[in-house]
Amino acid sequence: MQKQNLVMIGNGMAGVRTIEEILDRNPDKYNITIIGDEPYPNYNRIMLSNILQNKMTQSEIVLNDETWYAGNQITLHTNEKALLIDRQAKIITTTKRNISYDRLILATGSRAFILPIPGADLEGVLGFRTIDDTEKMIEISQKYERATVIGGGLLGLEAARGLLDQGMDVTVVHLADWLMETQLDAKAGELLKADLEAQGMKFLMQKATSKILGKSRVTGLAFKDGSQIETDLVVMAIGIKPEIELAQHANLPTGRGIVVDDFMTTADPDIFAVGECAEHNGIAYGLVAPLYEQGKVLADHLCDIETLGYQGSKMFTQLKVSGCDLFSAGSIKENAEVKGVTIFNSIDNKYKKIFVKDGKLVGVVLYGDTTEGNRLYNVLKKEEAIDDFTLVSLLHKAGESEATNIAEMPDDESVCGCNGVCKGDIVSAITEKGLTTIGEVTAHTKAGGSCGKCKPIIGEILEHTLGDDFVNAAPAGICGCTDLSRDQLIIQIRAKSLQNAKEVRHVLGFRNPEGCSKCRPALNYYLNMVWPHDHQDEPESRYVNERLHANIQNDGTYSVIPRMYAGKTDPQQLIKIAKVAEKYDIPLLKLTGGQRIGLYGVKKEDLPKIWEELDMRSGFAYGKTLRTVKSCVGAKFCRFGTQDSLALGEALERRFEFVDTPHKFKMGVSACPRSCVESGVKDYGIIGVENGFQIYIGGNGGTEIKEAQLLTTVATEQEVLDICSAYVQYYRETGVYMERTAPWLERMGFEHVRDIILDPAEQAQLKASLDEALEGRDDPWKQVLQDEEKQKLYHVERV
């Protein structure tokens, strides 16, 4: 069967996504030709602000390079403008040729709206829409000092932040009372303005520009109230105007955009429109998520696949400006039918407001903490009744996180709103295609390929789906958000006194200002290690198991592992465990490999109550810290034992109980060379002998077993503790986050590590550093145990 000729005018995000969807459905149906008026292949227009903010390069925002077009046998004409559509002859005339079509897609997009005021044509007046616009702004910033952005919406603020990063003095002129008034309410707009002012941005609010001053190039702005300012650059960011001239000349119905039906078909059954140029039910969308939804519908229609058609979109907004976390979705205007519920935490500058109509969520505004954005957007999108939800909740216990819980997330819940990818799509791709990294997930599903805000959740889905294989599949260390190595990061954190992860990502120019599932916990660890008393631990940056102080199981329930020092317990503890297990109908109690009693199948809502009633410390079976010290019964009971392994095991466990390490850390204390607790495959292993203790380091169990190496033999328990202190601290100071001691020891060199930790001066220095890091950590625990109210928090909140 002869292929039809499918021609698309426009080489932007919405149009090329439509072509990708067509190729996924039926790659042999059409001969495809694409006409683009820019001299570039398809690129991510959303990321232009990241180029301006020095976070990405031009090559990094290319979505489909020339090899993709060639590989899919697509004819691409770049730097070529379509001039005329002859609907009768089905011929497109461009600046270079005539092209015939059987079916035509108009994906002409939009252009920046330029105010029709005197001086708008002066040199130095730009829109912010293309790579060329961005490059010109960077070029001007190198010659001039003052910039003015007209428009305090999403695009304007991202442009202003970028110009600040280019070293310019930036003023934002905005007509409304507050910033981003379409997406934010007055309070959120006020918080945003204050944060941006703290970054150095200036604002002129409620200002209407009447004239751009200058002769050949811009020198200033005049306003309707008679005031003026001087400037060297004006960026218009007050909206977009759909490109509809081709359609108008072809006598296709247009309004604000090219009018289409639910199948993205124009008045001509062989001509379709998609993206910012299309108008559906009176709406021309300007955000990427609805445009991709349109592309999927059009691909189904062009491939003769039954579809319900495009039904419109519920939009959401996020701002790509470091230090300003905001999320907005749906309708955010209160009236007689729509009521709002507000929570404002002025201590942490976190603001949340939801809008409810007829018992359903219709709008969301979050500022300062957007962790709930994805969950609330899914509730809004599904139009769920919220009768069973708590509208206001204060003083959550730590561990009762509001962040997304991957184990409990249903498969049909949206993860990447921009690309319409749900959790089930990602899990299927991971398991069926053997994906192990965020980049691979993006390549196969498109999730995370637009604004990038969902990459941390994608990482958590990978972690949950793959378990330890996720860690093993990725190289230890920092992620693709930065080119800086672990050592370079530590040096910069110390040199620039960077105190929190947001500051690190901004100052050191991370490509993703929000970070990802690899660098967020890594930065939290490095900051805790560098500033043990000055850095406030960031629970939201820890893995979900650490946040909830329990291990998620495959059915979404949890395991609770109380700490039993050296595996030793007593009747009172056993009675408590038995009572809790009976009361909460816990389906499984099991002796773990670390000589503890584990309670499995615990419901999330029961976790705080169970910890309270157990009145035992958490064993941190989920943590990047000391997990267990495994011990035999020792010389007091065993006829072969040469040393008191129980006492030494308990001393080690109490000494290192609160130490964060790059990865999990396990110890074993055997009272004789029979080594009943497998001390030879522990991170730190001790074997009792007649004259003292043999010390082994760098052993790891798991999928790749590494035998520990003999470090030395010592005579006393105190020497065991001192050497362990130096060993743990040196590992903390030089280890890459998520690097076990075995690969660390191989990387550092056994002889080098041995020489450091056995040198008396080095050992004393390392021990002092560890003491400093642990200073004050024991006393708070004791205080908690003595305080009945704090005792309730103890079990779910880590000091």
**Residues in the annotated binding site:** 632, 638, 672, 676
Which DSSP letter does residue 780 get?
H
Give dist(CA 49, CA 450) in Å, integer.
Answer: 13
C-alpha 651/C-alpha 717 separation (Å) is 9
Beta bridge pairs of residue 235: 126, 149
Q: How many Å apart are CA 163 and CA 321, to the nearest integer?
A: 12
Rounded Cα gap, residues 176 and 151, in angstroms: 9
Helix pair angle (717-734, 741-748), 10° resolution? 80
The residue among 144, 150, 138 whose CA lies nearest residue 112 is 150
CB 532 within 8 A of CB 493: no
CA–CA dist 474, 421 (Å, integer):
23
Which residue, 100, 96, 67, 65, is CA-closest to 85? Answer: 100
| Helices 741-748, 750-758: crossing angle, 10 deg rounding | 90
341 within 8 A of 391, measured Cβ to Cβ: yes
Does an H or E element contain 696, and which? strand 692-697
Strand order in the sheet with 202-205: 125-127, 233-236, 146-150, 169-174, 202-205
The Cα-based distances of 747 to 4, 626, 699, 736, 739 in angstroms read 59, 21, 14, 10, 10
Shortest CA distance to 672 belongs to which of 638, 706, 697, 649? 638
Residue 448 per-residue DSSP state: T
Binding-site residue positions for siroheme? 676
Alpha-carbon Rg for the chain, nearest whole angstrom, is 31
Angstrom distances, CA of residue 265 to CA of 21, 85, 100, 138, 262: 17, 16, 19, 40, 7
Taking alpha carbons only, the member of 479, 515, 514, 509 closest to residue 496 is 509
- Give binding residues for [4Fe-4S] cluster as ranges: 632, 638, 672, 676
User: What is d(CA 787, CA 180) in angstroms, rounded to the nearest whole number?
Assistant: 47
Q: Render 605-640 in DSSP notation, one character per residue.
A: GGHHHHHHHHT--B--TTSSBEEEEEE---TTT-TT
Q: Which residues of 165-190 are buried (b: 16+ CB within 10 A; e: fewer)?
A: bbebbbbbbbbbebbbbebbbeebbb
**DSSP SS3 for 216:** coil
User: How many angstroms separate the CA atoms of 294 and 291, rounded?
Assistant: 5
Instruction: Write phi, then psi, for 74 (nearest 5 degrees).
Output: -100, 130
